[in-house]
Structure 1
Amino acid sequence: MYDRVCLATNGGVASENAETHALNLAAAMDATLHAVYVVDEAVTTAYSGDEYVDTAEGPAHGLTEYGNSVLGALAERADAAGVTIETAVLYGSPADEIVTVADEVDADIVILGTKRRSDEYRSLLGSVTDRVLRVTDWSTTVVKTNVSDEDAP
């Protein structure tokens, strides 16, 4: 039924639950898992980083290292589960990049995590998951995680 599962992760608690769901689904279907971590350009370009001497010290570098760490840990879990995985750290608008990857790999399903937040929180900040759902044509599973607003970063 599913040959290509696309997963977006940011390493947070909601993404961890989505990762587990994606790994279980890929294992059950003998599907390839395409996992992406997107370094948000809006974050990296909004910060001048004047105190940094070179780009190896700036926020993009730190987020890239974190993304590689998140995907590396996921790849280890996939290997242990016998799941074929392809990973990529991408740069740009997270929602746009996720949809582009789903299109490129011809995903059978896209899996995203989200934190259950109050309406007030969502109306102010929205979420990458909300944006992906609005623009993608792919079947999508959203794995919800209950987190209180007090726990929000």
Structure 2
Amino acid sequence: MYNDILLATDGTVASEDATAHAIGLADLHDAMLHALYIVDSDVYSAYSGDEYVDEREGPEHGLEEAGEEALSAVTGRATGHDVEVIETLRHGQPHEEIVDYADEADVDLIVLGTRRHPEEYRSLLGSVTDRVVRLADKPVVVVKTRVE
């Protein structure tokens, strides 16, 4: 049923259960897993470049390193299930890049994680997951993460 599954990850706790779910589906269907991390261009363009992100030099570089670590973590988890992973790091608007990648790679399913945010957060910033669900032409599975 699924030959190519896209996991969009941000490396946070909200992506952990989605990663497990995507790996399980890829294993079950003997599918290729596409792991995608988006360096949000709005985040690094809002800074002068002198700041540090998680003790890394410069916001863009720091976000790229965080993305590489997140992608590597997905591949590491998938190895135990004999699931092949294509790692991709892109720059741009996360929701747009996820939908574009899904179309370009002709994936059969998009898997995203989400966690509960305060209502003020959602009304101010919105949600990448909400936007992908609305814009994607592909089926989307949203895996909720319980944060204790």
Q: TM-score, normalised by structure 2?
A: 0.91
Provide the residue aligned with 1:67 in structure 2.
Answer: 67
Is 1:23 the equivalent of 2:28? no
Report the Cα distance in structure 2 between the residues aligned to 1:116 and 1:13, rounded to whole angstroms: 11
**Count of matched residue pairs:** 145
Contact 1:6 1:109 in 2 (8 A): yes
- CA deviation string 1:19-76 (max 9, x = no partner): 0000000000000000100000000101012468xxx821110111111111111111
User: Does structure 2 conserve the Cα–Cα contact (< 8 Å) formed by 1:35 and 1:88?
Assistant: yes
SS in 2 for 1:81: coil
CA–CA separation in structure 2 for the residues paired with 1:51 and 1:122: 26
Match of 1:130 in 2: 130
Counterpart secondary structure, 1:71: helix
After the TM superposition, list the runs of 4 or more consecutive aligned residues in structure 1 that deviate by more than 6 angstroms: none
Q: Which residue of 2 aligns with 1:112?
A: 112
What residue is the counterpart of 1:13 in the other structure?
13
- RMSD of Structure 2 on Structure 1 (CA): 1.6
Q: Aligned residue for 1:151?
A: none
**Residues in 1 aligned to 2:63 and 2:37: alpha-carbon distance in whole angstroms:** 10
Identity of aligned residues (%): 54
Residue 4 of structure 2 corresponds to 4
Superposition TM-score, scaled by structure 1 size:
0.89
Contact kept? 2:51, 2:57, Cα under 8 Å:
no
Tell me the residue number matched to 2:78: 78
Q: 1:147 and 2:119 equivalent?
A: no
- Do the aligned partners of 2:32 and 2:85 also contact (CA within 8 Å) in 1? yes
Distance 2:122 2:97 in 1: 21
CA distance change for structure 1 residues 147 and 51 in 2, over 3 Å: closer, same or farther? Answer: closer
What corresponds to 1:48 in structure 2?
A: 48
| Paired amino acid for 2:78 | A
Q: Which runs of 5 or more structure 1 residues have no equivalent in the other structure?
A: 149-153
SS of equivalent to 1:82:
coil
In 2, the alpha carbon distance for the partners of 1:75 and 1:105 equals 18
For residues 121 and 94 of structure 1, do their structure 2 counterparts lie closer, same or farther at Cα, with a shift above 3 Å needed? same
Q: Which runs of 5+ in 2 are unaligned?
A: none
Contact 2:50 2:58 in 1 (8 A): no
Residues 17, 143 of structure 2: 8 Å contact kept: yes
